[in-house]
Each structure stands twice: as C-alpha cells, then as structure tokens.
Amino acid sequence: MEAQTLTYSSCPGCGSSSLSKALTATDYLVSEKQFEIWQCENCTLRFTQNAPDAQSISQYYKSENYISHSATSKGLINSLYHFVRKITLADKRRLILSVMQMENGKILDIGAGTGAFVHYMQSNGWRATGLEPDEAARQNALTLNEVNLLTPDAFYQFPPDSFDVITMWHVLEHVHDLHDYMEQLKKILKPGGRIFIAVPNYTSYDASFYKNFWAAYDVPRHLYHFSPEAMFRLLGVHNLLLHATRVMWYDSFYISLLSEKYKKQKRNLVRGFFIAFISNLKAFVDKDKCSSLIYIIGK
C-alpha cells in the first residue's frame, strides 16, 4: 500500500491558516529523507509537513537505535541515556508526589516504551497502567521489566475519571489524532488529577544553535514541535489549565550530543556538553528556554 502523508493548510493546533516554512530537517535515524517543518504565525506551533499518516509511520520507528523501543545500550550516547534514566525515574516520581501530595494512586503512562517508568511506579505502590503502540517495545517491557503494557486502542476504552495522574514523557509530539487525544485525556482524568506532558522546546538555546540539525526535531516521528506559547494555546482550545512547568535539565545534554553526531557525523563531546551547559544556564534565568519542559495540567 502506498504511504499516505499529512499536508496541512491550517495549523493542526489552533486552526489558523497563517503558516510559513521554518526549516528543513533530515531523518537521520532511519530513512535519511528530508522533511519540511512549518510554523503557525498565530500560536507558534511548528509541525512536520507531509509527515506519514498513522497507517504509514511505523516504518520510521524500525531501528535498533530507537532507544525508547529497543532499550539498546550500544554507544556512548545510548549508555548515557540509560544512566540518566535511572536518575530521572526517581525525579519523575518525586515531582508527582510533590504535586499530588499523595503517596499512591492510579496512574496511566502513555507511550510507555519498554515499561521502565510503569515498573518503577508499581514498585513504589502505585496502580500503574502503561500504553505502548510498538509491539517490540511491549515485548521488551515484558521481558526486561515484567510489565504487561496495553495497546493504544485501550486509551479510548477507559471510563471517565479513571486516573489520578496521566503521564506522557515525550509522547504528545508523536500523536496523530491530537485533538481527540486531548479531549480523552481530559475525560479520563479524575477531578483534582494532573496530566504531566513532557515535550522538547524549539525555543531553547540548543535548538537555535543546531537549527535543522537539532536532534529533538526527530522528523518524521515528531509530528509537532512545541513552544511554551503553542502548548498554552493548545490547552486553551480544550479548556485545560496549565498549573505549572518544570525543566528537564538532562535532556539538553542528550540532545546536544546527538545533534553533534548529526551535524559532523562524529561526536564532538566537548562542544556538545558546552552547548548543553549554555542552554541550561539560559534556562536557569528563564525556564521557558529549557531544552525540554514538563507541563503540569489539570481540568
């Protein structure tokens, strides 16, 4: 079957027709194909133009180097990812505890990958459920973490007010049916519950430095590229409230090192660490400039 693509004449976030091309980025992970990234002049959302549709996108995830699915530790950057993930699992739990002021509850992790976060929360007394579209990742979750993840069709089958906490750690940028998803998130969240959405931030210093080589564009797997303004506007469309934002300090290092690999076809570790340090320094002054942000959202 011939692959179908998504061509936008209006913004997939706010619906505005005021669009312009921002840059062209390359899929360095799988296909080496180039994809245009456009920007909405109204809400500032960027999006991948002519990205594969939901039925065609799976081929762009077929790589042993797609770390969230394969759990590979090959190479320095992937080893660094796994080292940092052990730290961030505890950080995420502490953040949830501080926001929710509860030691346990029902939590849904969407885009659970190999199930590390679901397993960690279950081990700490939470009734944790995970969703993952990739079959290989679900198998890895069962093998590596003894977690049985659900397929994505379960998402629309949950009854209203099902979860105290819903997490999407670098997942929303992959979702094709963006607005239906946002409405379902609102529906299944309990009153007083919170949604934690982490996404890359293209207004960060590392993004401006690396431009089309910025690894967090990750075309065509990333369909949308958020700024803080774009996220705020999207939440407004769905009558969701932004309660707070939090920074993800480690992401700038992983993204900068990977961007160096893409830019020079070799790893310039010194410059990668330096750019990440500068990016975090700027984010320390203005957190909306952090390489990745966590948005804490309620009804």
Question: Residue 173 in contact with residue 110, Cβ under 8 Å?
Answer: no
Question: Confidence class of residue 67 from pLDDT cuts 50, 70 and 90?
Answer: very low
Pairing state between β 163-169 and 189-200 = parallel
pLDDT digits (tens, 9 = 90+) for 139-164: 999 999 999 999 999 999 999 999 99
Looking at residue 197, its pLDDT comes to 98
Residue carrying structure tokens 């099902």: 162
Which CATH number is 165's domain given? Answer: 3.40.50.150
Q: Stretch 235-264: mean pLDDT, rounded? A: 95
Residue type, 6: L
Q: Stretch 77-82: mean pLDDT, rounded? A: 59
What the block records as the tokens of 140 is 């890895």
User: How many Cα atoms within 13 Å fall on the side-chain side of residue 266?
Assistant: 2
Q: In terms of residue numbers, what domain contains 284?
A: 5-298
The helix (run of H) or strand (run of E) holding residue 234 is: helix 228-237
Pairing state between β 292-298 and 241-247 = antiparallel
Number of domains making up the chain: 1
Looking at residue 63, its pLDDT comes to 75
DSSP letter (8 states) at residue 3: P
Looking at residue 87, its pLDDT comes to 82
What the block records as the tokens of 123 is 């081990």
